[in-house]
Amino acid sequence: MLGKLLDFKQEGNRVSFRFEKGEGSLTPLKETVFRVFSGDSTIPSKAVEKTEHEAGKALCTEVCREEGGVRVSTRCMSALVGDDFSVDFYWADGSPLCREYRGERTLSKGLGEEERELMAGEGHFLAEEKKRHKIEVLKAIEGDECFYGLGDKTGFLNKRHYAYDMWNTDNPDPQVDSFRALYKSIPFFMARTDRGDYGIFFDTTYKSVFDMGKESRDYYYFAADEGNLDYYFIGGDTLPEILTEYTALTGRAPLPQLWTLGYHQSRWSYKTEEEVQYIGNMLRKLRVPCDSIHLDIDYMERYKVFTWDKERFPDPKRLLSHLGEEGFKIVTIIDPGVKVEEGYPLYEEGMKKGYFVTAPSGETYVNAVWPGDSVFPDFGNPQVRAWWARQQKLLTSAGVRGVWNDMNEPATFRGEIPGDIVFSDEGQKADHTRMHNAYGHLMAKATYEGLKEADGRRPFVITRACYAGTQKYSTAWTGDNHSIWAHLQMAVPQLCNLSLSGMPFVGTDIAGFGSDATPELLLRWVETGCFSPLFRNHCCLSAVRQEPWAFGKDVLDIYRSYVELRYTLIPYYYDLFREEEQTGRPILRPLVFHYEKDPETWETNDQFLIGDRLLAAPVLQQGVRRRVVYLPEGTWYDFWKGEAIEGKRAILQEAPLDTCPLYVKAGSILPRWPVQQYVGEKEIRELILDIYPGEGSCLHYRDDGESFGYREGAYAEYRFEVESSGRFTAELLHAGYTPYESLLLRCRGKEIRLSLSGEGKAEAKLW
Ligand code: GLC
């Protein structure tokens, strides 16, 4: 595209290039992280706001011309820049990691007019003609590459041989493997190859295409028709290393409030004060632990955001305070569409201040969502975000503890918003084409900032639409799945790939949103979903009830046991979130994340790890009561029966309806709490540590569970270690928060209670 490479210039770490038809630059941000850029540098990145990378440090060890281009070397890697801004990445020893594909794209001709008509006759889907893009980067496939990430796409874990679009899309049809786009656009993937691993983040909010070897076996490509060529290349030995660098660029999910790790009960909709109270009463009466009830669109007055329906919710403050006494935190939905209605203050104020997006003529743009004709806040404008942030007070002042942002692709009922509708981009004039994929991200950012200001605690936001970096502001759910087995199966790779895309706090609608759940599906889904960081049962208006008690006592008892299991594991989840905030390692991890040297793990779609210590192998098919489980290398313990099993092999595991096969890695120390009906119900003075023979260590973290005080040191941190000899040691590393009074060690049926000495140390002999 850019033609012959003419010359280059080095200024600090940045090396700029002059081509026949344009310019570009390559900048190492770290020894293994490079930014490749050509285009308009005034377009602000939505994802990369401030990075941990040290721009100040001199990184280029050598920049020189050689045959084939200009080589930019760091201590660990080099990039060879050639004609047309091709970039090949090498390790320091000269071996290639990722090279440009130098052939032409194979654009097949597609169908003739007659054939297209014939197919259209029966209503068949006609794939778009293949075309060239203004920006196209083709990289060679040189071996057994597997590709992971790309956000919330459908299908399986490994994205090789599939193609996707990055264009936030609300399509209510049951999602299948051939869907090209869903609600989120996270243009980042990681490649596992026999030459080493790497990640590529194509930082564009314009519609982009990722063809991961579907068009050809020899190359994959990413492309866009507008915007910049702006991508980051991250090389590394392992997937965790790459994710650490990607999240250093785009940010990490901040430590959440503890209660958000509990169980959430939702439905579209709990429509009245009485119904919400009834749901709360049932949960407590039937002793299904629960921290949160979600209010869907019917709490509002005719779907007008930031209002309460006065008849159905006459006194929200009283209701929420009453529910609060019972341990429930209320989360309310907020959509971006603002109803067009004279006398509605939000609409009137927004109109007066010019806060809604407009047609090129300047007229406010109107489309339909739940309230009918609606207008759309221009979230790319910082003033609009500040205004939206202030609105959250209406909710927090009634006692709302979290906000669920929906329909923020943005979804519209009368066709998609045209590309030329005028949006802002941080003070610049932009259009829908540029801002579409960032819309949900910017709405979540406004919501996060508003909640932080109004409430002071760590904000709890859930969003449906995302861009890269949304993890800094919000958790996410995967949108409108269906109560079908295929969607339970999809949940595993989908949540794993979101996790590998920098979004760790994610979950699916448990038991499915559309269609009707069956008792068996509900159980198998809670057996899987109780491990997802966001643990919420939600379904649509027309679906059969799927609350835990909806299918009778036997189902309820099993359901409850998995919610209880989750509550006992909350301290482990919290430790994982602490680790995530520091390293970017997610909570849910596909097996390949820790065992990539073992090819058996590359395509595992029906098992996952929770941190590095627990492995879940849920049943994902109707009628199945035993399944094959692949255990990676090392010794594993059956969580339920305690028996040790040697790994690096597949086993046949019995899995009756009440059992989700679950395994613990030898040498694991699992921090646990007793069952509580909600987080904070009991004062926890003792930490339970389940110890599985072997060698291992872990950090354990505790704080007040809601404030930002931990950033000023208000936390306690412990280090626990177990040796193969059976010696256990504990050490309090940081004492900025009330320490536990005792530790209860449980190992092979034996219990030992320990208290830490004045120096914050303790030890015991376990076997
Ligand atoms: C969308 C959301 C769903 C919600 C519904 C009504 O379909 O994805 O979760 O219940 O809107 O607000």
Q: What is the pLDDT of residues 703-759, one digit of tens each?
A: 999 999 999 999 999 999 999 999 999 999 999 999 999 999 999 999 999 999 999
Query: Could you identify the atom of ligand 1 that is nearest to the CA of residue 269?
Result: 10
User: Rounded to the nearest whole angstrom, what is the distance from the C-alpha of residue 411 to the centroid of ligand 1?
Assistant: 11
Regarding beta strands 208-211 and 219-224, do their DSSP bridges make them parallel or antiparallel, or are they unpaired?
A: antiparallel
pLDDT mean over 322-345: 98
Q: How many angstroms separate the Cα of 671 from the Cα of each of 274, 289, 699? A: 38, 19, 10
Q: Is 595 in the pocket of ligand 1 (CB under 6 A)?
A: no
Phi and psi at 247, nearest 5°, equal -80, -20
Out of 300, 304, 406, give the residue to mutate to test ligand 1, the one with the largest number of ligand atoms within 8 Å of its CB.
Answer: 406
For residue 672, the one-letter residue type is R
Is this structure's pTM higher than 0.95? yes
pLDDT mean over 235-253: 98
Residues 6+ apart with CB under 8 A from 510: 522, 525, 526, 529, 535, 536, 537, 538
pLDDT mean over 38-49: 96
pLDDT mean over 73-92: 98
370-411 pLDDT, tens per residue?
999 999 999 999 999 999 999 999 999 999 999 999 999 999
Closest CA to 175 of 543, 513, 616: 513
Residues annotated as catalytic (active site), given as ranges: 406, 409, 480
Q: Whose CA is nearest to atom 4 of ligand 1?
A: 268
- pLDDT recorded at residue 537: 98
- pLDDT recorded at residue 735: 97
Q: How many angstroms separate the Cα of 343 from the Cα of each of 304, 308, 354? A: 12, 16, 17
437-450 pLDDT, tens per residue?
999 999 999 999 99
- pLDDT recorded at residue 53: 64
Distance of alpha carbon 89 from alpha carbon 32, whole angstroms: 10
Distance of alpha carbon 480 from alpha carbon 232, whole angstroms: 32
Q: Is 268 in the pocket of ligand 1 (CB under 6 A)?
A: yes
Q: Is 296 in the pocket of ligand 1 (CB under 6 A)?
A: yes
- pLDDT recorded at residue 558: 99
Which single residue is written with the structure tokens 């835990």? 548
Residues 6+ apart with CB under 8 A from 738: 716
Residue 669 has pLDDT above 90, yes or no: yes
- pLDDT recorded at residue 51: 66
Query: Could you identify the atom of ligand 1 that is nearest to the CA of residue 266?
Result: 10
pLDDT mean over 112-116: 87
User: Rounded to the nearest whole angstrom, what is the distance from the C-alpha of residue 483 to the centroid of ligand 1?
Assistant: 15
Residue 150 has pLDDT above 90, yes or no: yes
Among the residue ranges 73-87, 95-109, 577-591, 639-653, the one predicted with the least confidence is 95-109
Query: Could you identify the atom of ligand 1 that is nearest to the CA of residue 541?
Result: 10
Q: How many CB atoms lie within 10 A of CB 520?
A: 17
Closest CA to 296 of 464, 175, 120: 464
Q: Give the residue ranges of DSSP H helices in 112-200.
A: 113-121
Copy the structure tokens of residue 136: 């196209």
Would you report the helix, strand and coil content of the chain in percent, each value rounded to 5? 20, 30, 45
Residue 129 has pLDDT above 80, yes or no: no
Phi-psi region of 245 (alpha: psi -120 to 50; beta: other; left: phi over 0): alpha
- pLDDT recorded at residue 713: 98
- pLDDT recorded at residue 50: 78
Distance of alpha carbon 593 from alpha carbon 243, whole angstroms: 10
Helix H or strand E encompassing 522: helix 519-529
Closest CA to 269 of 556, 559, 542, 548: 542
Residues 6+ apart with CB under 8 A from 106: 215, 216
Strands across the sheet containing 535-537: 506-507, 475-477, 461-463, 402-405, 329-334, 292-295, 263-265, 535-537, 509-510
| Mean pLDDT over each residue of the chain, to the nearest integer | 97
Residues of the chain with pLDDT > 70: what percent?
A: 99
Question: Which band of pLDDT confidence, cut at 50, 70 and 90, is reported for residue 583?
Answer: very high
Closest CA to 352 of 384, 329, 379, 382: 384
- pLDDT recorded at residue 52: 61
Q: Is 480 in the pocket of ligand 1 (CB under 6 A)?
A: yes
User: Rounded to the nearest whole angstrom, what is the distance from the C-alpha of residue 335 to the centroid of ligand 1?
Assistant: 10
Q: Is 703 in the pocket of ligand 1 (CB under 6 A)?
A: no
453-511 pLDDT, tens per residue?
999 999 999 999 999 999 999 999 999 999 999 999 999 999 999 999 999 999 999 99
Residue 130 has pLDDT above 90, yes or no: no
Q: Are 375 and 347 in contact (CB under 8 A)?
A: yes
Out of 264, 268, 464, give the residue to mutate to test ligand 1, the one with the largest number of ligand atoms within 8 Å of its CB.
Answer: 268
Q: Is 455 in the pocket of ligand 1 (CB under 6 A)?
A: no
47-58 pLDDT, tens per residue?
999 766 656 789
User: Rounded to the nearest whole angstrom, what is the distance from the C-alpha of residue 406 to the centroid of ligand 1?
Assistant: 7
